[in-house]
Structure 1
Amino acid sequence: MKSFWEIDEEGYYTLKKITAEEVAKAEKKLGVTLPDTYKKLIFQQNGGYIVHNAFPTTHSNSWAEDHIQFNHLLGIAEDEGIMDSAYLIKEWELPEGLVLING
């Protein structure tokens, strides 16, 4: 099976290992239930650079007409990773209620 994560355990986006209790606390604070696929990935590695840097899309965007840039996945830590979503949503003037997994 191919790896999702780039081998770089000390990377900028790689946070300390996380427990199920910490994930539950984050979900409660964010007011969401995180997708099982996301949780499976962050239990393997709590955020970091990923092997692929782009994924196909049917919507054109400022980066390309047929794909989006996605080179890292944000993990979970106090005031880091997806827990920084509220601050970034306000700064970037995005709709409220989002959980940012890449930025």
Structure 2
Amino acid sequence: MKDGAIRDDYAFGLTSMTKDRATPENLLGIARGHWEIENRNHHVRDTTYHEDLSQIRTENGPRMMATLRGLAMSIMRLIGVKNIAKAGRDFAASARKTLRQFGY
């Protein structure tokens, strides 16, 4: 806090783990794992692909587009891409460069 005061924060949760397995370390690992997925996938989908702003809303369209975005992200990660947004722009700008990445 700005005034230098210390505060305690509490978080409550419910788990089916036994008392022996529900250690603070294990529970923290589970929480961090959740946020890793959020940051690695959903954040990229929202910021790079603007998925939340999509106008596709009928039938299987939203699910198909989410699948295609996920496939594109997975392929880029498999070939070692670190910046999905930049790679997406590069691939969109040059079909030849994109195909070279895949050995064609």
Q: TM-score range by the shorter chain?
A: under 0.3
How does the TM-score come out when normalised to structure 1? 0.23
Q: Whose strand fraction is larger, Structure 1's or Structure 2's?
A: 1
> Quick one: higher RCO (CA 8 Å, sep 6+), 1 or 2?
1
How does the TM-score come out when normalised to structure 2? 0.23
Q: Which of the two has higher C-alpha Rg?
A: 2
